[in-house]
């Protein structure tokens, strides 16, 4: 599996920790390092850049990290067909995939420590969408999204 990852200036150290963890686990981590080519960039353009790579199918899964994870989730969800959620515990990370079929995990470097972050990432990557009772809810989410993105 290949996972794309990026962060803003608040989360550079945690991103490095997660990349090393993924590689040690046998997962190819592609670090977009948007800040490296766009010094001073804010989280909206960083998150948007990664979400576009999910939208176009370049990557199936992505991880975004900022101070709280909230802003990254908000901007990633602005890209049609991309579903992101902030998770600071393992149960939520599992449900993000199993119940909501989200492709992007966001976390806050100012909220959780590196060991918990690694555990969350591992749980999220091990989880797959289960369908079942969640399927009609996810389908409705897609329908409402399409309605929202229609030209007025």
Q: Which helix (H) or strand (E) covers residue 37, if one does?
A: helix 34-37
- pLDDT on residue 38: 98
Q: Is the pLDDT of residue 94 over 60?
A: yes
Q: Would you say 85 and 51 are in contact if contact means Cβ atoms under 8 Å apart?
A: no
- Active-site residue identified among 11, 54, 66, 72: 66
Distance separating alpha carbons of residues 98 and 25, to the nearest angstrom: 21
3-class state of residue 65 by DSSP:
strand
For the chain, which domains are there?
A: 2-149 (3.40.1400.10)
Residues paired with 65 in a beta bridge: 7, 107
Q: Is 66 tagged catalytic?
A: yes
- E strand intervals along the chain: 2-7, 28-31, 61-66, 84-86, 104-108
Sheet holding 61-66, edge to edge: 28-31, 2-7, 61-66, 104-108, 84-86
Structure confidence by residue, pLDDT tens digits, 97-138: 999 999 999 999 999 999 999 999 999 999 999 889 999 999
- pLDDT tens-digit series, residues 5-31: 999 999 999 999 999 999 999 999 999
**Per-residue pLDDT, 152:** 55
pTM attached to this predicted model: 0.95
**Chain-centroid distance, C-alpha 144:** 21
């Amino acid at each position: 599996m290949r996972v794309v990852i990026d962060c803003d200036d608040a989360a550079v150290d945690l991103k490095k920790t997660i990349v090393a963890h993924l590689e040690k686990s046998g997962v190819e981590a592609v670090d977009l390092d948007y800040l490296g080519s766009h010094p001073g960039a804010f989280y909206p353009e960083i998150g948007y850049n990664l979400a576009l790579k999910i939208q176009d199918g370049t990557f199936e899964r992505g991880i975004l990290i900022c101070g709280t994870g909230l802003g990254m989730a908000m901007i990633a969800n602005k890209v049609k067909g991309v579903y992101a959620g902030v998770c600071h515990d393992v149960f939520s990370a599992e449900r993000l995939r199993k119940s909501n079929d989200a492709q992007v995990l966001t976390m806050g470097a100012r909220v959780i420590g590196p060991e918990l972050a690694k555990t969350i990432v591992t749980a999220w990557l091990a989880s797959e969408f289960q369908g079942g009772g969640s399927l009609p809810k996810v389908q409705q989410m897609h329908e409402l999204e399409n309605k929202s993105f229609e030209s007025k």
